[in-house]
Amino acid sequence: MDKTIQIIILGIIVGTAARIYMLRTDYRQYPSYPHGIVVHVSLGVLAAALASLAIPALMEKEYTAITFLSLAAQQFREIRNMERETLSKLEELSLVPRGLDYIEGIAKVFEARNYLVMFTSLVTTSVALWLGLLAGIIAGITTILISMYLMRGRFVRDIATVKPGKLHFENSLLMVDDIVIMNVGLEDQREKILKDGIGVVVHPKNDNGRAILNNLGQRQAILHDVSILVGNKLEVGEPDLTPLMRKDVDTGKLALFVVPNEKDLECVIEAIYRTPILESAAYYPLKSTIGKSAAD
C-alpha cells in the first residue's frame, strides 16, 4: 500500500479514536444511546477524514483542500445549532430544566470537539509524513491527551465550599439557616419538607466565586445536576417540593433546598461540587485592578 494512503488511514483512525475518547454518555444522558452516539461518531469520522487529506493534498499543490476544511468548519458550526435546538426541546418536559446557559455550553463543547478531532488528525498526518508512522501515532496520542487536559474545565468545588444548613420554618417561611427560601402554606407539605428535605449553604471562596454563583444560569445548572444525581420528589402541581437556591445579598452565599429521593447529605454536597462552571458565568473580577481594589 502506498505510504501516503497509509498515513491518511492512520490520521482517520487516530482522529476517530479521539472523538470516541471524548464522547461521554454520563448522568446527563446526552448524547443518547445509540442514536446520538452514532451521529457524533459519524461526524468525527468525517472531520478526521477531511483533516487527514489536507496535508497530503497541499503537498501535491492541491490548494482546494483548504476550501474543504472551511466547508467542514461551516458544517460543524451547524452542530452547535442542532444541539441547542434538541436540548431546548427536551427542556419543555423537564421538571428541573438545565437552563439556557447550560444548553449553550453543551452545544459549544460538541462543536469544539470536532475541531479537536481535526487538529489531532492534522498533527498525526503531518508528523507521520516527516518522521514516520510510529512518530505519527505517538504525536496523535499526545495530542488527544493534551486536548482532554485543556477541555477539563472547572467545577463548583474550585470556587466554593458547601456546608450543611439547618432546614426550618419561621411561621410559613421555609429557611436554610438565616436565608429565606419560599413560603409554604400547607401544613402537610411543611412536615414532609422537614422530614425528607435537605438544606445546604454554598460559600464562595472569594469574589470570583461570588460573581460566578451570582449568575442565574449557574444556579440553575447546580439545581439540575443535583436533581439528576440524587433525584427529587417534585411532581407536577406540587411547587412546594421544587428545588430552589436563594442568595444572602450581604455575603453572596447561597442556600440550596431539595427533597431528594434518598436523604443523603453527602451525596447532595458532592453533586453540587461536580457541577461544571459555565462559560457564560465565568466572571473573574479579581483579575482586574478595580476588582482587586474593591475586595481590599
Q: What is the pLDDT of residues 99-113, one digit of tens each?
A: 888 888 888 888 888
Question: Average pLDDT in the 251-273 region?
Answer: 92
Specify whether 11 is located in the same domain as 132.
yes
Question: What is the pLDDT confidence band of residue 31, given thresholds at 50, 70 and 90?
Answer: low
Specify whether 7 is located in the same domain as 146.
yes
Reading the block at residue 54, the C-alpha cell is 489536507
Q: Is the per-residue pLDDT at 293 higher than 70?
A: no
Q: b/e string for 59-85 if b means 16 or more Cβ within 10 A?
A: eeeeeebeebbeebeeebeebbeebbe
Instruction: Please tell me the predicted confidence (pLDDT) of residue 148.
Output: 80
For residue 131, the one-letter residue type is L
Quote the domain boundaries for residue 66. Answer: 3-150
> pLDDT tens across 128-152, in order?
988 888 998 999 999 988 888 777 7
Specify whether 185 is located in the same domain as 69.
no
Number of domains into which the chain is organized: 2
Q: Is the per-residue pLDDT at 198 higher than 90?
A: yes
Q: What is the pTM for the complete model shown?
A: 0.83
Specify whether 221 is located in the same domain as 91.
no
Tracing cell 417561611 back to the chain, one arrives at 173
Specify whether 121 is located in the same domain as 162.
no
Instruction: Please tell me the predicted confidence (pLDDT) of residue 32.
Output: 60
Instruction: Please tell me the predicted confidence (pLDDT) of residue 150.
Output: 75
Specify whether 7 is located in the same domain as 144.
yes
Q: b/e string for 147-169 if b means 16 or more Cβ within 10 A?
A: beeeeeeeebbebbebeebebee
Specify whether 75 is located in the same domain as 138.
yes
Q: Is the per-residue pLDDT at 84 higher than 60?
A: yes
Residue at which a domain ends, from 124, 150, 176: 150
> pLDDT tens across 32-53, in order?
666 677 877 888 888 888 888 8
Residue at which a domain ends, from 150, 172, 203: 150
Residue at which a domain ends, from 150, 176, 195: 150
